[in-house]
Amino acid sequence: MPNQLDKEKDREKITHQHRKDEHLSLAQKFWRNQNFENSTGFGDIRLIPKSLPEISMTEIDISANVFGYKFKKPFYIEAITGGSERGDRINAQLAEIAKNQRLAMAVGSQSIALKYPELAVGFAKVRQIHKDGFLFANIGASHGLEGAKRAVDMIEANALEIHVNVIQELAMKDGEGDRSFYWLENINEIASQLDVPVIVKEVGFGMSQQTFQLLGETAVSAINVGGRGGTNFAWIEEQRAKEFSLYLDAQGLSAPESLLEAKFASISKPLIATGGIQYASQIVKSQVLGASLVSSAGFILSNLVENGAEYVEMILENWASDMTKFYAMLGVKDSSALQKTELIYSGDLFTFIEQRTKPSRF
């Protein structure tokens, strides 16, 4: 007979799983309704093509070396939930796609499986499917070293993402979202003691110079800037909380803005760009701005649900071949040469650079 405590735990688990499913549905709804061209910031960047690039497509290599690992393609499938039946099914489909496309993949937050160990099988399935793939484990920043180790072991991960999501937490109702954010020391302890690389990852609100400077002094191996302009978790949580007057969904920095902030902070750790990625041009622009890897979540999820796995695979194949064309247009053979490419900035991004490089004006 289940006692009162077990019943309470079951109820909590179901509520937690329900939240995961709400995230999936609302993220889907969000992507259906949005026009992302301007909000990502990439529309304010123009690449400068070469009429005489002196290159052949056969000489181009888009692979990237990060964490001592060669990523055949410099983009991967970013963390999308897990822990509910629907979430697990989606993660298994994504793992299949990642395997076929030889892509790295991150699982969604494993916090739910740390709390309810019976849910670990859903995450472990990703490793069963994508046996030789580069997998990122994923936890929130309030977990300790022990939780981090368990998350990594659960999927035999090659690296660990620690997500930081202050604005998302603040958009949740009182009693659901975190209200205390002392994370830095914890992150540093995990990063210094874990035996796989640790990446700190924003979930769609971008990062400023101050954040980069703080992370620059820690043992983390890489930083995912997680820019605004794609999936908006403040909007999602505001929908769930039925709290529409806070406007947290209007806050944050885009991926291009965040990558520029990293430059202004002279950060030397590898950077990963996320935030509304839908096109190869955005991947290339991210690389020109200093990203070593690029990842995408909402767009992939939206296409998986609406158009199916084969369609997603076609998108990912096109990203790789389109990137090669962009490299040819720019006359670069690999990503190291890309970082010397010049850009033209316009609109909001131009204004952003002016203000952020001359703060004394105000």
Ligand X SMILES: Cc1cc2nc3c(=O)[nH]c(=O)nc-3n(C[C@H](O)[C@H](O)[C@H](O)COP(=O)(O)O)c2cc1C
280 or 328: CB nearest ligand X: 280
Which position among 75, 279, 299, 352 is part of the footprint of ligand X (CB under 6 A)?
Answer: 299
DSSP letters for 8-77 = HHHHHHHHHHHHHHHHHHHHHHHHHH---TTTTSGGGEEE---SS----GGG----EEETTEEESSSEEE
Using an 8 Å Cβ cutoff, are 140 and 110 in contact? no
Asked if residue 114 binds ligand X (CB under 6 A), the reply is no
77 or 349: CB nearest ligand X: 77
Which position among 17, 24, 225, 312 is part of the footprint of ligand X (CB under 6 A)?
Answer: 24
- Can you tell me the distance from the alpha carbon of 19 to that of 164, in angstroms, rounded to the nearest whole number? 18
Minimum Å gap between C-beta 28 and ligand X is 8
Half-sphere exposure of 240 (CA within 13 A, CB side): 27
44 or 161: CB nearest ligand X: 161
Minimum Å gap between C-beta 175 and ligand X is 20
Per CB under 6 A, the segment of 5-13, 74-82, 185-193, 305-313 that binds ligand X is: 74-82
- Minimal CB distance to ligand X: which residue? 230
Asked if residue 109 binds ligand X (CB under 6 A), the reply is yes
Asked if residue 203 binds ligand X (CB under 6 A), the reply is yes
Q: Which of 45, 143, 73 is nearest to 319 (CA)?
A: 73
203 or 349: CB nearest ligand X: 203
Asked if residue 256 binds ligand X (CB under 6 A), the reply is no
Using an 8 Å Cβ cutoff, are 114 and 139 in contact? yes
134 or 332: CB nearest ligand X: 134
Using an 8 Å Cβ cutoff, are 142 and 180 in contact? no
- Can you tell me the distance from the alpha carbon of 285 to that of 346, in angstroms, rounded to the nearest whole number? 14
CA distances in angstroms from 355 to 55, 248, 260, 268, 351, listed in the order given: 38, 22, 12, 23, 6
Asked if residue 270 binds ligand X (CB under 6 A), the reply is no
Asked if residue 276 binds ligand X (CB under 6 A), the reply is yes
Which position among 277, 284, 289, 294 is part of the footprint of ligand X (CB under 6 A)?
Answer: 277
Per-residue b or e along 157-175, where b marks 16 or more CB atoms closer than 10 Å to that residue's CB: bbbbbbbbbbbbbbbbeee
Stretch 4-23 residues interacting with ligand X (CB under 6 A): 23
Using CA atoms in the order 134, 139, 144, 145, what is the torsion angle rounded to 10 degrees? -10
248 or 332: CB nearest ligand X: 248
Tokens of 261: 């902030």
Asked if residue 108 binds ligand X (CB under 6 A), the reply is yes
- Can you tell me the distance from the alpha carbon of 93 to that of 113, in angstroms, rounded to the nearest whole number? 19
Which position among 17, 27, 71, 191 is part of the footprint of ligand X (CB under 6 A)?
Answer: 27
Say how many residues make up the chain. Answer: 362
Which position among 143, 298, 315, 330 is part of the footprint of ligand X (CB under 6 A)?
Answer: 298
What is the per-residue binding string for ligand X in 228-247, x denoting contact by CB under 6 A? --xx----------------
Asked if residue 204 binds ligand X (CB under 6 A), the reply is yes
What is the per-residue binding string for ligand X in 150-189, x denoting contact by CB under 6 A? -----------x-x--------------------------
Tokens of 93: 């489909």
- Can you tell me the distance from the alpha carbon of 9 to that of 213, in angstroms, rounded to the nearest whole number? 40
Asked if residue 79 binds ligand X (CB under 6 A), the reply is yes
Our measurement of the distance from residue 98's CA atom to the centroid of its chain's CA atoms, rounded to an integer in Å, reads: 15
27 or 154: CB nearest ligand X: 27
Minimum Å gap between C-beta 359 and ligand X is 28
Tokens of 268: 């030397």
Which residues are near ligand X by CB under 6 A?
23-24, 27, 78-81, 108-109, 138, 161, 163, 201, 203-204, 226, 230-231, 274-277, 296-299, 301
